[in-house]
Amino acid sequence: MQNEARLLHVTGTVQGVGFRPFIYRLAKSHGLSGYVKNLGNHVEILIEGKRANLESFLNNLPEKKPPLARIKKIKINIVSFSGLPEFIIIQSEEGTFENSIIPPDTAICEECRREIFDSSSRYYHYPFTVCTNCGPRYTTVRTLPYDRENTTMADFPLCEDCEVEYTNPFNRRYHAQPFCCPECGPEIWLSDAQGKVFEKNYEAIVKASDLLEQGSILSIKGFGGFHIACNARKEDPVKELRRRLGRPEQPFAVMAKNTAVVESFAEPRDGDRRCLTSSRRPITVLPKSKAFKLAESVSPNLHNIGVMLPYTGTQNLLFDLVPDSVYVMTSANLPGRPMVIENEEALEKLKGIADFHLLHNRVIANRNDDTVIRVVNGQKAFIRRSRGFVPEPIGLPFEVEAVAGIGAEMNSTITLAKGNLAYISQYLGNTSHIETFRYHAEVFQHLVQLTGIEPLKWGCDLHPSFNTTRFAISRGEEKALRIQHHYAHILALMADNSLPEDSRVLGIALDGVGYGEDGTVWGGEILGTSYFGYKRLGHLLPQSMPGGDLAVKIPGRMVLGMLSGKLGEAELEKLPLYFPRGRQEFSAVAQQLRRKINVTVSSSAGRVLDAAAALLGICQVRTYEGEPAMKLESAAKKSLQKPDLPLVFKKEGKAGTPVLDTTELLLGVYEYSGGKYSPEDLAFAVEENLAKGIAEITITLAAKKGFEKVGLSGGVAYNDHITSCIAGTVKEAGFEFLTHRRVPCGDGCISFGQAIAAGLATGSEGTL
């Protein structure tokens, strides 16, 4: 049989995942010669030999690929046979690495985990044990190409034994850049709050376990930053941690050894289990079990809890010592600020918070917080897309020139896109804080360096006062396009669902705030959307927010803003609302509303839910983002009657635009309060009626305007009850319903939508 040759170009996540040694072994097993080399944005493979062997190789390649590899495309060309004597691996070449795909950090694999518990292994009890199938990647990368000398592991030259494994293509540690052993790799140690070291290596982990069991609070350095940990089964350390952090109510995520332990306090479903146990190890938001065997203050007044399983060697060793332990594992940062990543920074910033520090000396090149996922309406929904997923690109259904999406203000991310790939950064936080904004700028520069994408156009928020808007305008100048916030939400939804360029969607955007085209605050919008423009076809009734942002922090202000036109001042004063300065503040707010002084107007769905939570006595002060709405959802889950109350009244707005009258919704709650329905029943009724009212308006508009697809985006889409109700009603009416699949529903998707808008040169109300 005549010899033939094939030249392959494989794109996808094929760098830093053991792809080249896999190709080497596969070629050798099929008796083929040639080479494999990394070209940054793809791998080039030349194979030569008998046709049958070539075909068998091509069939096996996608079937047997390494576990972390993600093949996007294989391009195959027939070329001339050159008679190469053997198959070789060619090392990385200097040159362009534009659109290189760096693999994300992943959990320690089962083979490495077994080795750290095998007393005969040279990796016994060594927490930094990894191979090509696991471990940190993105958090170690300084520059490209992704070779050891360009990562933070350059600080740790390989010993002779590791060099043998690292250079052997038949070894699973071949060119595993984070690879090391106790002789040549990073060290771990335990210090007190002042930095005095008193235990090293495995003994440090043993002592840390003892301290956690005794009730101490520790900082623990991981892949992409520090966690603050304490014993989640005991009230005292959890309450003390809350006191030290100044977080009276914000839920803490916890970590447990395995799903068996998780089931002692939560009820994971099949989809939850897949998330929990995947190699990406996100925090997965789970329903609490009836026998909740953790401290109540871990997740107070909520029906669910964020849970993750160990993903580092250190964490696995820690949980092996006390198998049924459960620890709070919360990010070491103030809300909205960057995570702590340096040892000296931890000693300084966590003074008075952590009693002890479990530290190591591997530098963290890129902060990367834990990913958070919740199953909503039976589907995975990203609350925060970060560790385990970043910087994995999102495929686009069309091509764009080099563009940047700079993000909004809260829960910010950055997106760089070119061709048919978009790279979304890790979660950055609240860019109104100067240290987070500086971090935002650092991540932008690093993402440009890693992807090689120099933006030709820039997308940013419509709000003129956002730091991100100013950043885009200062960098992009006339090439900066300001994108309406909710339009960006729906564009992100469309691209997330891979809709082609000529698609139209009737998008529902429900969130807290977004600057509107008319200068008011939007947040409950129904937008007729294409990739080239949008129309505001419906919305929630604009409501008064006395004091602006104060109405967000004290939702009782929102109640007065919504009901002041329906109830007299004497009736309003009797409402069970909280104001920090009591009667004096109530009077000041009432006067603000009468005189229309310092009163913002908003159609926000989030503010309506906040007002309902306050009126029902469920949450009177917001101490963390989304708190009133989250507690309202948890209360609704406890409803026994699940009443179907007619609380919603729809009316026509300007030019026949349908408006959902949320004042009537809240007034209905007031009128039914104190009767046969509990606050939990009325919380359910609020969510049910709000969802049905929005769905009914949307269905009417879709039929009238000829839309076949309806989609939902925005932070309110994390509410399982509201999303499920809207989805069910829309589907029952015969329309296709879209939700997010690969990017967050909340503001973490805004930069993605902005990049799409900039790439297709859109941005304001226009032609559908």
- Catalytic residue numbers? 20, 38
Bridge partners (DSSP) of residue 97 are none
C-alpha to C-alpha distance for 732 and 715, rounded to whole angstroms: 24
Considering only CA atoms, which of 250, 220, 254 is closest in space to residue 234? Answer: 254
**In degrees to the nearest 10, what's the CA dihedral of 129, 134, 139, 143?**
100
Q: What is the DSSP string of 430-496?
A: -TTSHHHHHHHHHHHHHHHHHH----SEEEEES-TT-HHHHHHHHHHGGGEEEE-HHHHHHHHHHHH
Strand 326-331 relative to strand 379-384, pairing: unpaired
Q: What is the DSSP string of 89-123?
A: EEPPPSS--TT--PPPPBPPPHHHHHHHT-TTSTT
C-alpha to C-alpha distance for 188 and 126, rounded to whole angstroms: 9
- Would you give the distance in Å from CA 605 to the centre of its chain? 22
Residues 53/31, Cβ–Cβ less than 8 Å: yes
The continuous run of DSSP H or E covering 688 comes out as: helix 679-705
C-alpha to C-alpha distance for 28 and 53, rounded to whole angstroms: 11
My answer on whether omega of the bond before 391 falls inside 30° of 0, hence cis, is yes
Residues 30/48, Cβ–Cβ less than 8 Å: no
**Distance (Å) of CA 443 to CA 226, 368, 378, 451:** 18, 11, 33, 12
> Is the backbone of residue 705 left (phi > 0), alpha (psi -120 to 50) or beta?
alpha
Q: Which residue has the tokens 């559908």?
A: 768
**Distance (Å) of CA 698 to CA 497, 525, 587, 720:** 20, 10, 39, 19
Burial 721-755 (b: 16+ CB within 10 A, else e): bbbebbbebbeebebebbbbebbbbbbbbbbbbbb
Residues 489/714, Cβ–Cβ less than 8 Å: yes
**Distance (Å) of CA 527 to CA 269, 505, 737:** 34, 8, 14
Q: Hey, CA dihedral for 512, 515, 517, 520, is it positive or negative?
A: positive
Residues 355/714, Cβ–Cβ less than 8 Å: no
> Is the backbone of residue 352 left (phi > 0), alpha (psi -120 to 50) or beta?
left
Both tokens of residue 607?
């503010």
Both tokens of residue 138?
């993105």
C-alpha to C-alpha distance for 17 and 554, rounded to whole angstroms: 50
| H helical segments located in 173-331 | 201-214, 235-245, 259-262, 270-277, 313-321
C-alpha to C-alpha distance for 690 and 649, rounded to whole angstroms: 10
Both tokens of residue 609?
């839910």
